[in-house]
Structure 1
Amino acid sequence: MRLFLFFWLVTSIYSCLAAAPPRAIAKRGSSSFVSSSSAGFSVNGSSLRFVGTNLYWLPTLDSNDDIWNMLKNISDTGIKVIRIWAFNDVDTIPENGTWFQLVQNGTTTINDGPNGLQKLDTVIQMAEQQGLYVIMSLTNNWYPFVNSTATSTPSPDVLATVTSPPRNTLSNDYGGMDLYVNQFGLQNHDAFYTNNEILTAFQNYTKQIVSRYLNSPAVFSWELANDARCNGTLPTSPTCTTQTITQWHAQMAAFIASIDSNHIVSAGTSGFQCTDCPKLYPITPTASPTPSPAPGKKRNKVTPLTKEQVIRQRAESRRQNRAAAKRAGTLKEDGVRIRGRWVSTATREVSSSIGPTTDGSTGVDSQDILNIPNIGFGSFQVFPDQNSYAPDDPNLSPVQNKIQSSLTWIQQSAQSAAAVGKPVVLNGFGLVTQSNLNDFVPFNMTYAPYASDTAVVTARSGFAGSKRQSSSSDYADDSDQESGYSSFLQMGNSAGLAGVMQYQWGSTGVTQTSSTIQLDELDTTNSPASGATLVASPNDGYSIANNPAIQQILQQGAQAMAQNS
């Protein structure tokens, strides 16, 4: 009931916001390539709103039949867009498996062979045949393997009990920014954004990929990076600010635009904001005024997210939850007793700090990035098991806090993008369930902190938002996940998001020959084919393999988004 009341509240708030004034973003009419504008996405003359999913590992599958079947199952669900890693960097050529680029001692080499970019060719060709669009992410902020002294590495007393999964099992084991920094002999994570030699190397790889698929309508967009920010596994220099990250996005977006006029360029940030940071691309009024409202109607105005609004929303949410708990008889008193009566201190709890998602401490100002002229749309992510989007409310359970704060985060992200006048996509959302807890690996780690063989390190796991040792009850059960995913999709639809993407898809019965090592979970529900082993696709705690309930929720969400296109 509380979640329903909260969902109704934030939906009502958002319904008061009108669409932002139009802002031109390279319209292409009835082109077969996806284009973006203030009205959203369009392709072949029709608008496109979608539900999508993530399959970062898809190009590493050994069997083309598996790739085809995976894409067909997704298409049959009504999903229109998938998001994959269009990079796979290594510092040493592996004996087995897929790799796209060797980055070694300041030099780079592209692998154009059958275990290289030809695997990516297969994915793009099959996606087009299945009527799917592909968001191509070009690098990753997270690559924890490069530095054994990083904070995300388990302590020496635990290392002996931790076994790293096979290469390419985890989303952060595909190379990325810190691999470049390490192999170019530098120390700080943010050197990736500023060092000329690294920039040249990354632009060379980007040019190879963009030019290769220049004329493919299956490419939805070029995503510059997954979750770019100042901090990574390597240390961060004190000079890295939100402007550092914004300027890199502007430089790379302009570079791709100079090569490719067919596809839009997107940011792949987590959506972190900085309400008080100086802007490189400040929001300014449009040259043409918006039409006057109908008689008797007020002109609605979309404004940027502010610190004051965040504080007000959190205080109001807490008041609503407190009132609901009081009516239900479950109120947890959080004030002081004066003359025998409780006086709440709840409204003062959020008086000053707004937290890392909106204070710029990550070095990311997604609104400023979105306002870059060559950026076609923005992104944000919802992973409440790894990020804290608001202070916990004592009148809600840990899982309810995660879901409620995520719904507010969706609403705030939609408002921020509407103020710019460009589309925004929730490019990844997920809740870790109790049944998936043993497989849960945070994006900046290399091992599962809650697995039985590493339980000793749970109290010092070091991932974002971790404040204390958790128990399984802090994580969603299957019913919570179903309710949460339904709420995320409904909020995304009502808030006007252009797309909502679940993280991540999964499948069992995937073929693995003896020569490949990127998949490791044995699937005992199927009989192995001759000469091969059947395995499950990678699961970092979010896979929905063999989960028809979630797949049905995604299907229903896709139908609802399509109806509102």
Structure 2
Amino acid sequence: MRSFLSLILLTFLGVVLSQGNDARPPLGFVQSKNGKFVLNGKLFNFVGANSYWLPLLTSKEDVHTTFKEMQGAGVKVLRTWGFNAINGSELAGALESGLTYYQLWNSTDWTLNEGPQGLKRLDYVVDTAGQYGIKIILAFTNNWVGYGGAELYINWIAGAGKTHDVFYSDPAITKSYQKYVKAIVNRYKNSPNIFAWELMNEARCLGDLPSGPNCAPASGTPLLSKWYKAQSDYVRSLDPNHMITTGGEGHFFWQGENAGYYYDGNFVSDYNFNGQAGEDFDADLALENIDFATYHIYPEYWYSNLNHPGTNWTVKDWGLKWIQAHADAAAKAGKPVILEEFGVSGLQNKTDIYPAWVDLALKTKHAGILPWQFGQLGLKESGGNRVIKYADLLVDGASPNDGLAIYRNQTTVWNIFKNAAKVQEGRSK
């Protein structure tokens, strides 16, 4: 009898455990499945927006104004920073100006600011997004110094004179990064308003600090891929339901002629394809807990010889090649891909180039398209004029403009994305 009862008990436990492993995510959580995004059993395709400045606003009314504008434009996903950090020497100025900050560094450790000038502002953005049917991609840190990225960890923990890539290998830095990640994930892991966690914005071997010699895959040291794996596994241990992505620019590690191009009859090894940046897009996308692919497009800023007389390269054509390459790689991996950032300078360039890029992204079944960056008019805080930090400021009610912002009154460009949003909505069934 005991053996029979034990058998029944073991069978019951096996069923329960099996159900637990196959349990569906809570309602409202987007998932990656068979190369597509799925939300509550339906496909989810979207046009999104980048707005790092939204949690920097001090006015709740302006936050609502911005989300309402996004909703009207068909935006379904917002990408923003889950980091804003300052040094202790900046605190007095931050308090005076109202600057949003989540981490305060004074030593090899930092203090979390959960107050009204800190994470309560991010709380408000996350909560408000859901009221407008918008989900959020939240990045944990920045490859660049802006708003307190990897360089703060390096300078405070590893010390002066270290190269940028020590961020990916120093155990003390990893411990500090994971401490912050845990604070953010635990804060929002039950929220359906989070679309995905992003490990880092634009991770590279180099940042504002130079790279060391043993970072890139081409050197035989796939340091960044190992970091992506370790951190995505860590985030998954904290949160079984939300998706995770790299936030990378999509650099490849190709070899031979595929890793470069000919210019004036000479072969030029290409940083975006030869592994020097540290990423290996194909290998990184194959990682178990990387749920979808991201990449960025800025050829106008990456190549000095594009669009120059005597060359057959153009910004538009290079971007089309880059889009197709990532679509092919994502299809091979069987995971969704989003064009997460892209930009060109000048209204005429945007008008000429964006239709071709967006059209190819749609034709190649990109699940998401997010231009850099969303522009908002009619902001009222501080009378519509406020210096935020660096060169970022509100001018006559307009959100910060780095030359790439797209505002509603730029009708032709605005409508490119509004129309694409309708296409993506039609595919979400």
Normalised-by-shorter TM-score class:
0.7 to 0.9
The Cα shift of 1:386 comes to 1.4
Are 1:411 and 2:324 counterparts? yes
1:542 is matched with which residue? 404
Contact 2:386 2:393 in 1 (8 A): no
Are 1:257 and 2:119 counterparts? no
Q: 1:393 to 1:513 in 2, by over 3 A?
A: closer
The two structures have a TM-score, normalised by structure 2, of 0.85
Q: 1:412 to 1:349 in 2, by over 3 A?
A: farther
Alpha-carbon deviations, 1:23-46, whole Å to 9, x = none?
xx9894784201002331000110
The Cα shift of 1:122 comes to 0.5
Task: Identify which of 373, 393, 402 aligns with 2:315.
Answer: 402
Contact 1:274 1:359 in 2 (8 A): yes
The Cα shift of 1:83 comes to 0.4
CA distance in 1, matches of 2:189, 2:274: 38
Q: Which amino acid aligns with 1:207?
A: K
CA distance in 1, matches of 2:351, 2:386: 34
List aligned pairs for 1:72-471, cutoff 5 A.
Answer: 72-92=68-88, 93=91, 94-95=94-95, 96=97, 97-143=99-145, 172=146, 174-184=147-157, 185-186=159-160, 187-242=162-217, 243-276=222-255, 307=256, 349=265, 352-388=267-303, 394=309, 401-433=314-346
CA distance in 2, matches of 1:65, 1:58: 12
Runs of 4+ in 1 over 6 A off after TM superposition: none
The Cα shift of 1:353 comes to 3.7
Q: Which amino acid aligns with 2:374?
A: W
Give secondary structure in 2 for the equivalent of 1:228: coil
Give secondary structure in 2 for the equivalent of 1:510: coil
The Cα shift of 1:103 comes to 2.2
1:459 is matched with which residue? none
Alpha-carbon deviations, 1:83-131, whole Å to 9, x = none?
0011001112222311010123201110000010000000011101100
Contact 1:62 1:516 in 2 (8 A): no
The Cα shift of 1:391 comes to 6.2
Contact 2:379 2:398 in 1 (8 A): yes
CA distance in 2, matches of 1:129, 1:308: 50
Task: Identify which of 358, 361, 380 aligns with 1:492.
Answer: 361
Are 1:564 and 2:421 counterparts? no
CA distance in 1, matches of 2:76, 2:394: 28
CA distance in 2, matches of 1:208, 1:178: 20
CA distance in 1, matches of 2:333, 2:257: 19
Q: Which amino acid aligns with 2:427?
A: N
CA distance in 2, matches of 1:516, 1:391: 36
Q: 1:411 to 1:180 in 2, by over 3 A?
A: same
CA distance in 1, matches of 2:31, 2:85: 30
CA distance in 1, matches of 2:34, 2:227: 24
CA distance in 1, matches of 2:154, 2:351: 40
The Cα shift of 1:563 comes to 2.7
CA distance in 2, matches of 1:536, 1:202: 34
Q: Which runs of 5+ in 1 are unaligned?
A: 1-24, 144-171, 277-306, 316-345, 434-477, 524-534
Contact 1:26 1:35 in 2 (8 A): no
Give secondary structure in 1 for the equivalent of 2:314: helix
1:159 is matched with which residue? none
Task: Identify which of 511, 514, 524 aligns with 2:380.
Answer: 511
The Cα shift of 1:562 comes to 2.7
Alpha-carbon deviations, 1:127-152, whole Å to 9, x = none?
01100011001111111xxxxxxxxx
CA distance in 2, matches of 1:29, 1:202: 27
CA distance in 1, matches of 2:195, 2:114: 22
CA distance in 1, matches of 2:404, 2:175: 35
1:39 is matched with which residue? 35
CA distance in 1, matches of 2:111, 2:25: 39
Q: Which amino acid aligns with 1:410?
A: I
